[in-house]
Structure 1
Amino acid sequence: MKIHEVRESNVLMTESERMQVEAQGITSSGTLIPIKCLSKRELQVVHKIMGGCSNKLIADQLFISERTVKFHCANIYKKLNITSRTALIAGCFRTLYREVVSH
């Protein structure tokens, strides 16, 4: 039996981005949702989505089934009170770049 190990960088975002997100949460439809509400695996899925990966590619890279990816996506959407991949990307973008836009 082969054991697959996911070797992904521990850094999903820069330290300053992480501090900003932890302080402000994720912006979704005008409300702030704490990043801590997502599990480590859900954060990995979000990171892959932000990188433009399809569900199939995410499944291959994380050694999980495509159905499991869909399950994680559904949980992420529910926790963040959003309904689509586009809303997830927009919410992450608003959160990480809020200060850049406001200046």
Structure 2
Amino acid sequence: MKTHEIREPAVLMTEDERMQINANGITARDSVVPINCLSKRELQVAHKIMEGRSNKVIASELFISERTVKFHCANIYKKLNISSRSALIAGCFRTLYHEAVSL
């Protein structure tokens, strides 16, 4: 069985983005939550979400129940202060895009 190692940047928001939000008078979240605050299983579920898998498929691939997947999703959203799969994917895309532009 092959395991996947997920390597993600430490933050979902860059320092520049944080400074722009503060400069424009928009209240930023209390703090940027590092992706490494997620447990190993939550990272696995997040990775599967970013691959576009449904809860049912994630459950099958990780050998857990669909209800457990929903539980992990709720924890991921709460820890990262997001509300949907789209927000998770957008945050990761923004990070990757920022890294590509800065090269």
TM-score over 0.5 for the pair = yes
AA aligned to 1:53 is R
Question: 2: CA distance between counterparts of 1:100 and 1:10?
Answer: 23
Aligned to 2:12: 26
Higher strand share: 1
Does residue 70 (structure 1) correspond to residue 56 (structure 2)? The answer is no
In the TM superposition, 1:1-103 aligns within 5 A as: 7-13=1-7, 18=8, 21-22=9-10, 25-27=11-13, 32-101=32-101
In structure 2, the residue matched to 1:4 is none
Could you list the structure 1 runs, at least 4 aligned residues long, displaced by more than 4 angstroms after superposition. none
Which has the greater radius of gyration? Answer: 2
Give the aligned length. 89
TM-score (norm. length: structure 2): 0.74
* Structure 2, unaligned runs of 5 or more: 19-28
Question: Larger relative contact order (C-alpha < 8 A, sep ≥ 6)?
Answer: 1
Q: TM-score, normalised by structure 1?
A: 0.74
User: Which residue in the other structure is 2:24 paired with?
Assistant: none
Q: CA deviation at 1:99?
A: 2.4
Identity %: 66
Deviation track 1:47-80 (CA, whole Å, cap 9, x = no partner) reads 1011110000000000000000000000000000
Unaligned runs of 5+ in 1: 1-6
Cα offset for 1:102? 5.0
CA RMSD in angstroms comes to 2.3
